[in-house]
């Protein structure tokens, strides 16, 4: 069985519209408390940076800092791939 990377999970979630393709209206950064990253599905540990993004509809999504960067890059190119 092949293990998926965080980038692959984020790409699949964006394509399936499980992660939003819109920009957040606010962002907070701090350290994790063990809650699940919405990008890679792994816990964000207290030793890791966490980004909490508030979406225009009021929902909040949580990412590792690296997963947030992948999400931003992929959501920028996804519309180009759907043409």
Residue 63 located in a structural domain: yes
> 37 lies in which domain range?
6-78
Instruction: Please report, for residues 58, 59, 74, the alpha-carbon distance to residue 55 in angstroms, rounded to integers and kept in the order given.
Output: 5, 5, 17
Residue 45 located in a structural domain: yes
Q: What is the pLDDT of residue 83?
A: 45
> 80 falls in which pLDDT band (50, 70, 90)?
low
- 12-23: pLDDT as tens digits: 999 898 999 888
Residue 21 located in a structural domain: yes
List of residues 6+ apart from 12 with CB closer than 8 A: 4, 18
Candidates 62, 60, 39, 36; CA nearest to 50 is: 62
Q: 24 is written with which tokens?
A: 């957040």
The count of structural domains within the chain is 1
Q: 73 is written with which tokens?
A: 């890059």
pTM recorded for the entire structure: 0.86
Interstrand relation of 26-31 and 60-64 (parallel, antiparallel or unpaired): unpaired
Residue 81 predicted with pLDDT over 60: no
Residue 42 predicted with pLDDT over 60: yes
């Amino acid at each position: 069985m092949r293990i998926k990377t965080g980038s692959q999970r984020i790409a699949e979630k964006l394509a399936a519209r499980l992660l939003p393709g819109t920009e957040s209206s606010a962002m907070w950064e701090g350290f994790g408390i063990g809650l699940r990253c919405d990008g890679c599905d792994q816990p964000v540990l207290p030793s890791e940076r966490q980004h909490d993004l508030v979406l225009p509809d009021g929902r909040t999504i949580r990412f590792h800092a690296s997963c947030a960067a992948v999400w931003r890059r992929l959501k920028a190119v996804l519309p180009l791939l759907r043409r």
